[in-house]
Amino acid sequence: MNDLANPTEHSRLWDEFRAGSQEAFSRMYELYAEDMYRYGYNLVRNKQLVEDCLHELFLHLHSHRRRLGSTDNIRFYLYLSLRRRLFDTVRKSNRYRSDEYVFEDAEFLIQPYEQQWIHEQSVAWQNKVVVTELNKLPKRQKEILYLVYMKGLTYQQAAEVMDITLKSVYNTVSVALATLKGYLKESLQPEGLTWGIVGLFLKYILHG
């Protein structure tokens, strides 16, 4: 199911949900639950914990819907809520060993259908090169690129989701893009390849 097109659609669906529409709640779940699970699992590599937190979050939202504030970006609201719930659970829970959680080194997986943001018409192996190099970035850099350039959050929203300053987001993106450019040069130049897709990708990120 396609994401909502604009803030007005987000606000309308969210307001219908807050007013008690079961149809709006179901649509929200269908739109975002799968992506939320993947995002959560990229943060905390424990499937059961992520599933539990995801289900608990939706139950909490449903139970407290009439007391929720407004939003014009449901994805931002849900990602922020899930991330906080996951990390709070990890900090408080005694059910899991601390070494089950890998925050800084876990690979931030890029799903095949999400490669459209790189270049929809690109050759498959070129996509693979770019995705491979993306996954070499430190986790914070990957998460910010994921939230901003793959999921459409603003820099301010990404800062709020990750609980960091706006300046940190800008600085991290700048470092990530410079690092990624270096990685891609190393990967492509030995093969005698031109920038092609990569140049378009970087241009899209820098100016899109």
Per-residue pLDDT of the chain in tens (208 residues, 90 and over written 9): 566 768 999 999 999 999 999 999 999 999 999 999 999 998 888 899 999 999 999 999 999 999 999 999 999 999 999 999 999 998 887 655 544 444 444 455 555 555 555 545 444 556 667 777 788 888 889 899 889 888 889 999 999 999 999 999 999 999 988 888 887 777 666 555 444 545 545 544 444 4
Note the pLDDT of residue 2.
63
Domain boundary among 100, 121, 143: 100
φ and ψ of 104, to 5 deg? -95, -20
Note the pLDDT of residue 125.
59
Long-range Cβ contact pairs of 1-4 (< 8 A, separation 24 or more):
1/27, 1/30, 1/31, 3/31, 3/75, 3/152, 4/31, 4/74
The answer to whether residues 116 and 93 belong to one domain is no
Note the pLDDT of residue 54.
97
Note the pLDDT of residue 15.
97
Q: For residue 145, what is the domain's CATH number?
A: 1.10.10.10
- Helical spans, DSSP H, in the chain: 7-18, 22-43, 47-63, 74-92, 124-134, 139-145, 155-162, 166-188, 197-207
The answer to whether residues 145 and 189 belong to one domain is yes
The answer to whether residues 77 and 134 belong to one domain is no
Provide the domain limits for residue 177.
112-207
The answer to whether residues 118 and 96 belong to one domain is no
d(CA 122, CA 136): 21
Note the pLDDT of residue 163.
93
Q: How many domains does the chain have?
A: 2
Residue 2 within a domain = no
Note the pLDDT of residue 167.
96
Give the three-class secondary structure for 176: helix
The answer to whether residues 164 and 198 belong to one domain is yes
Note the pLDDT of residue 121.
45
Q: For residue 57, what is the domain's CATH number?
A: 1.10.1740
The answer to whether residues 69 and 149 belong to one domain is no
Domain boundary among 100, 135, 156: 100
The answer to whether residues 90 and 15 belong to one domain is yes
Task: Return the residue matching tokens 């669906």.
Answer: 13
